[in-house]
Amino acid sequence: MSDRGNKNWSMADISEKAVTRRVAVAGGKIRMGSEAFALLVEGKLPKGDPLAMAEIAGIQAAKQTPSLIPLCHPIALNRVMIHSVLRPDDHAVELFCVAEIAEKTGVEMEALTGLSVALLTIWDLTKPINAALEITDTRLLFKSGGKRGTWVHPDGLPAEVEAIVVNL
């Protein structure tokens, strides 16, 4: 049995940080197989349109991040957006979640939480057709603001994310 010690947990002290505009973009993909993908494209999945529901669920989840991640600061989001891209060659949907604030702390966890719940919502609405779904490539792609400035994922940005970032 290991002794991990007694840790007194606390949120990071951001009292001395400056308020800056901060943006984060997270991305991920759900593969669903050819039949489920075809029904999604045709708008014929039995539970309804997963892309529209994923947008709502992702936005709602991003707003709830501090309730879900114990040491996240409660923040007032300026914007959350879910963007979906169909990937027919993979029978997949790639999602991107953009979160933006003017605050003393970053917004990466909100973007990742919004993305994750949006992907899980598509899973829930697609599983009656194919239970062998796969969520992959969940990652932070971009962040800006704060003392570290702009960060881009080492693998670069998909063209769709570049277009989103340019318009922010």
Q: What residues act catalytically? A: 124
Asked if residue 146 lies in contact with residue 138, where contact means CB atoms within 8 angstroms, the answer is no
Phi-psi region of 72 (alpha: psi -120 to 50; beta: other; left: phi over 0): beta
Instruction: Specify whether the CB–CB gap between 123 and 133 falls below 8 A.
Output: yes
Q: Classify 152 as helix, strand or coil.
A: strand
What letter represents residue 76's amino acid?
Answer: A
Determine the Cα angle at 28 with ends 102 and 107, to 5°. Answer: 15
CA distance 111 to 81: 9
Contact between residue 48 and residue 55 where contact means Cβ atoms under 8 Å apart: no
